[in-house]
Amino acid sequence: MVIKILGSGCANCHKLEELARKAVEELGIDATFEKVTEYPEIMAFGIMSTPGLVVDDSVKMSGRVPTYEQVKRLIAEAR
As annotated, the active-site residues are: 10, 13
List beta partners, residue 47. Answer: none
Among candidate residues 78, 75, 59, 74, the one with its CA nearest the CA of residue 25: 75
Task: Let me know: does 34 contact 2? Beta carbons within 8 Å.
Answer: yes
